[in-house]
A = this chain, B = another copy of it.
Amino acid sequence: MDIFSTLQEEKARLSPSETRIADILLNDFEFAVNASIIELAEKADVSPPTVTRFCRRVGCESFSDFKVQLARTAYVGMRYLRPEPKSRDPGDVAQDIITKAQNALFLLHRSLDLAAIEQAAEKIAKAEMIYAFGSGGNSSMIASELQNRLFRFGLHVTASSDHGMQLMLAAAAKSTHVIVGSSFSGRNTELVRSFTLARETGVTTIALTQADSLVAKAADIVIPIDLAEGNNIFRPTSTRIAYLAAVDILASLVAYNIPQAAVTLRRIKQQLVAHRDGDDRQLLGD
């Protein structure tokens, strides 16, 4: 699919010369993407044909195809390999954070289970009542975001970040209701309890969480969001951005499953347009 994944997989099987080429890609990417095959060959101390063969090996048609592929994925793929910013210089820090965020989106997109999302969207669109559960700074934000997005389509929805409240809501929920729970860690046992309780009465439970986690196992429908973890505890923003995007996708698909949604949205839009005398229109963005 993308060169960097292939490179990770093939790494062990590469010959010495090919390894030297790979090293240049990883270390001096800017050079690699701008160099001609001759320049690259010289720097890697190999012959041009070896470079061509290397390109074929990582799944490209030709050297120029390789460069295009490289340039295409590099923008988002690089940080995957270089986890720390080069320096404390504001420019480097900014670039590091931006690229990490874009990378998170990239990885999310690649690992997205569209069938699960579509299934979840259909259930949500038909639900008589929706509960959005999430606790902790990150997941509670996701829960309110869900509420924020879904009420606009005329759906009945409430968000809760309180475990006790979640349990009570889950206990009172009916089979026509849907619970959407978010857990970055997948280890929110309180959420698991709510899910288990709700499923006894036939409530549909949807989880936004790590695949195969405790929370995932407790839910009817799982929208898995698996991002490279590691340092993520100290840098949670990129993970959160991925979750936000996932909610955005889910909400958009819900809208397509609701015939009236277009009408409701149009009404909101007209109201906004009618209102916008003093550019008030923008105020609703805050």
Contact = CB atoms under 8 A, between A and B. Distances in A.
Contacts of A247: 237
Interface in A168-225: 183-188
Contact of A72 (B74, B184, B256, B284): B74
Contacts of A64: 36, 64, 67
A90 B252 CA distance: 9
A166 interface: no
A272 B76 contact: no
Nearest to A94: B249
Interface stretch (A10-18, A19-27, A43-51, A131-139): A131-139
Q: Which of A105, A136, A144 has the most CB of B within 10 A?
A: A105
B279 A187 contact: yes
Contacts of A115: 90
A82 interface: no
Interface in A216-274: 229, 232-237, 239-241, 244-245, 247-249, 252-253, 256, 265, 269, 272
Contacts of A241: 101, 241, 244-245
A1 interface: no
Interface string A46-86: 00000000000000000011011101111110000000000
B91 A101 contact: no
A34 to B, nearest CB: 7
Nearest to A265: B234
A94 B65 CA distance: 26
A106 B114 contact: no
A7 interface: no
B237 A184 contact: no
A286 interface: yes
A285 to B, nearest CB: 4
A155 interface: no
Nearest first, the 8 A-B pairs at minimum CB distance are A136-B286, A185-B282, A71-B71, A237-B248, A184-B285, A71-B72, A90-B114, A98-B109
